Chains A and B, each alone.
Chain A
Amino acid sequence: MAVTFPAGYDTAPCYIVAINEMLVPYVAGMLQIMEKRGFWASDSDYEQGYNAVVALEGCMMATCLTDLIASQDRMYRMMNTAIFGQLYDVTIGPPLVVTPEIAPAVTLDVLDRDSIMGRLDRIAQLVDNAINGTETPLYTYSPSVKALLQSIIDAIGADETDLSSILSELETIALLVA
């Protein structure tokens, strides 16, 4: 029975069908019947069908699922390095060996100060130390902006009128804020 080429082919989605590599030569070879004019109902069906089936056969050895998964792993490692600073050792294969292995889950631990999370943490520590005077692992400057402002307020409250001292403390604050 001759077959009419399916309408809507150009807009239909594609499915990934996993075929063991060793079976591809046989599975693809069995599609040869669809490359023949006799399979199709008309010349037009034949032309569309031939192009579609030949493209399908070509795709069957074009993208290995292993490659897709490896690509996804590379994307994961790139993000883990950029965001958390996880560094990887790579031994070029075959087989390609990358350590450490991808963990089932990640924590919020910052592994490298130059990662995105590391830089954010550095900024948070700087602001906390400069404004609040909190001693952080990276910053221990003193006095803080708050402390300096409080000393100015205290000085004014005590009716001290040494403007040069107040201006000096304001300049220090400006430098810290900058």
Chain B
Amino acid sequence: MVPEDGTRGDSGSDKFRMGVFFFECSDDVSQALIQVPSIKIDKLTTIEPGAGILIDVTDGDVVSFVEVVIDGPYCNPFAVPIASLLTAYRQSRV
């Protein structure tokens, strides 16, 4: 088990703050999940409910990331193109 109070990175990022983005695919049925290894605290929303957990999808960097994913040639594991963001929040995946 990895201790939770391990070394922290820039802006408090750490392995317990993995950013997970959930997308709907172009067939309106399939799902896609994209995870980034860690996400900065200031990219999490401060508005309840979900403060400190939900990723702020209005943040400029987050918007840019999502646009790259949606506009790019990215698919879920079953080759269905990613179409739109559903939600995003931090998870602990250690």
Taking CB atoms, residues of chain A closer than 8 Å to B63 are none
B77 and A50: CB pair below 8 A?
Answer: yes
Contact for A58 among B48, B77, B86, B93, CB less than 8 A = B86
- Find the A residue at minimum CB distance from B21: A58
> Once bound together, how far apart are the Cα atoms of A62 and B54, in whole Å?
9
Tier of interface size on chain B: 20 to 34
A51 and B29: CB pair below 8 A?
Answer: yes
Q: With A24-B89, A29-B92, A50-B77 in contact, do A64 and B49 touch (Cβ < 8 Å)? A: yes
B22 and A54: CB pair below 8 A?
Answer: yes
A66 at the binding interface (Cβ < 8 Å) = yes
Provide the B23-48 mask, 1 if CB < 8 A to any CB of A, else 0.
00000011111000000000000001
Contact for A61 among B30, B76, B78, B89, CB less than 8 A = B89
B53 and A21: CB pair below 8 A?
Answer: yes
Provide the A25-36 mask, 1 if CB < 8 A to any CB of B, else 0.
110110010010
A-B complex: 5 closest residue pairs judged by Cβ atoms: A58-B22, A54-B31, A29-B91, A64-B49, A29-B93
